[in-house]
Amino acid sequence: MAIVGMEGLGKTTLAQLVYNHPEVCKYFDVHAWVCVSEQFDINNITQSIIVAVTKEKCDLSELPNLHERLVEEIKQKKVLLVLDDVWNERRDCWDLLCMPMNTTKLCMIVVTTRSEKVAKLVQTMSNFYNLECLSFDESWLLFRQVALTVNQENAPPNLVEIGKAIVRKCKGFAFSDQEDRQHAAL
C-alpha cells in the first residue's frame, strides 16, 4: 500500500495510525518501521529493517548476509513493514530490497512518498492512497475542534476571525503534531 502526497500533508501520521492500530498490532507477528528519505541505500535500509525487527544492533554489511539474516527473522511470519519517505523510482532497487519478503507467510508493505511514480512502482494489487489538502470548511471544522477551547458557538467574533485567518494561511494543511495544536489553542 502506498500513501502519496505533498510534504506536510500527514502521510507519516496516517501510516503511524495504521501501524499502531491495536487490531493491526495483533494481526502481524513482526512489525518494522524504517525512515528511508532520499538516500536509498539498500544495504542500510535492510540493516535498519533487521534492527527494527530484532531490536538488536546489526553488524552485517554485505547484502547477501543481510538478506540471509532478515530471512531468518521473518520466514513464515506475517510481517508489517513501513518504509517512510521513499524517493527512489528504480524498479531494480525495489525488487532487490523486497527479495527477503518473499519468504514470509504474508507481508504488508506500507510506503509513504511524495511521488506517484514511486507509488505505482511499489503498488501490486490496489491503487495507492492519494492524500490531499483539506478544503477550507474541513480545515475550519478541524481548527474549531482543536483550537477553540471556549464553547464554539459562543466564541468571541475576534477569535473566530483570527481562527479563520489562520485556517486560510494553512491552505488545507492539517496540524501535523501535538505541538502545532498546542500553539494554535486560543
Q: Which of 97, 113, 130 is the last residue before a domain boundary?
A: 130
Q: What residues contact 94, with CB distance under 8 A and at least 6 apart?
A: 88, 121, 122
Would you state the pLDDT for residue 127? 66
- Cβ neighbours around 113 below 10 Å, total: 24
Which pLDDT band holds residue 35 (cuts at 50, 70, 90)?
very high
How many distinct structural domains can be found in the chain? 2
Average of pLDDT values for 29-40?
A: 94
Q: What is the pLDDT of residues 86-122, one digit of tens each?
A: 999 999 999 999 999 999 999 999 999 999 888 888 7
Domain check: are 87 and 124 in the same one?
Answer: yes
Return d(Cα 78, Cα 57) in angstroms, integer: 22
Q: What is the pLDDT of residues 4-29, one digit of tens each?
A: 988 888 899 999 999 999 999 999 99
Return d(Cα 56, Cα 52) in angstroms, integer: 8
Domain check: are 74 and 21 in the same one?
Answer: yes
Domain with residue 41: its CATH number is 3.40.50.300
Q: In what order do the strands lie in the sheet with 129-130?
A: 30-37, 78-86, 106-113, 2-4, 129-130
Would you state the pLDDT for residue 120? 86
Average of pLDDT values for 43-47?
A: 97
Domain check: are 121 and 174 in the same one?
Answer: no
Would you state the pLDDT for residue 179? 40
Would you state the pLDDT for residue 151? 60
Domain check: are 113 and 168 in the same one?
Answer: no
Q: Which of 88, 113, 130 is the last residue before a domain boundary?
A: 130
Do the beta carbons of residue 33 and residue 22 sit within 8 Å? Answer: no
If one compares 156 and 60, the residue with the highest pLDDT of the two is: 60
* pTM score, whole prediction: 0.75
4 secondary structure, DSSP code: E
Q: What is the pLDDT of residues 118-168, one digit of tens each?
A: 888 876 545 677 877 778 888 788 787 777 665 666 777 787 888 888 888
Domain check: are 126 and 78 in the same one?
Answer: yes
User: What is the extent of the structural domain holding 44?
Assistant: 2-130
